[in-house]
Amino acid sequence: HSWGEKDIVSSNIKFFLEKGAKLLYSYKCLQVSRKLKTKASTFLKSYSSANFETIVLARKGSVNLNDATFLNGKESRAISRIRMVGERKSKIVAKSSMIANNVGTGHLDCMGLLLDKGSSIQAIPELINRNKNASLTHEASVGKVSEENLNYLRSRGLTEDEAIDLIVAGFLGEEEPIIIKGRSVKSELYM
């Protein structure tokens, strides 16, 4: 999605996966509205699996991401990946919950990258296990652009802004090449 700066956007999605079903869901927003609020709830029955990917680049916006995955059937599996970049006085709050009500496996992977002092990112991974044979894990990190990566790219002739743009593109998993100084550069070459 790409929203206008003055838009206020709210969405609420529910997925119900039957036995053996598979879901691959990707949400990408590289231009957020003034306020963006999303809520996704997923309910998995036996032997079903869900793979979620959420990518948000926030500039001057307020973002509230909420997702909850319920492993209700035996041997259900789910992973939720969130990539967030905040700049220009943006505020991002991302709460991701994995709830095991039966034997299953779930993982949360939340990563945020802050580009300026006026922005904030809050990553809230929540694991709720109600079955002793279920396995739930999470990774969460929020930080800044690595000085080592910046210096490496600058030593290759990029300006600091070009280097940051390339690092952000790689962090967000952008597969499209980026044009820098009139030449096409693939982000995965540097990540």
Q: How confident is the model over 98-116, as pLDDT tens digits?
A: 999 999 999 999 988 888 8
How do the pLDDT tens digits run along the chain, 191 residues long?
A: 667 777 788 889 999 999 999 999 988 887 777 888 999 999 999 999 999 999 888 888 889 999 999 999 999 999 999 988 888 888 999 999 999 999 999 999 998 888 888 899 999 999 999 999 999 999 888 888 878 888 888 887 877 777 777 777 777 776 555 554 555 555 444 43
SS3 assignment, position 155:
helix
**Phi, then psi, of 63 in degrees rounded to 5:** -125, 130
CA dist 191 and 189 (Å) reads: 6
Pick the closest to residue 33 from 65, 66, 60, 72 (CA basis): 60
Per-residue pLDDT reduced to its tens digit, 63-99: 999 999 999 999 999 999 998 888 888 899 999 999 9
Q: Identity (one letter) of the amino acid at 18? A: E
* ∠ CA 100-107-169, rounded to 5°: 150
The pairing of strands 183-185 and 178-180 is antiparallel
The pairing of strands 62-71 and 91-100 is parallel
Distances (CA, A) of 24 to 17, 27, 81, 104: 11, 10, 12, 18
Which tokens go with 145? 């652009």
- C-alpha dihedral over 89, 92, 93, 99, to 10 degrees? -170
User: Residue 143: which H helix or E strand, with range?
Assistant: strand 135-144
**Phi, then psi, of 89 in degrees rounded to 5:** 60, 40
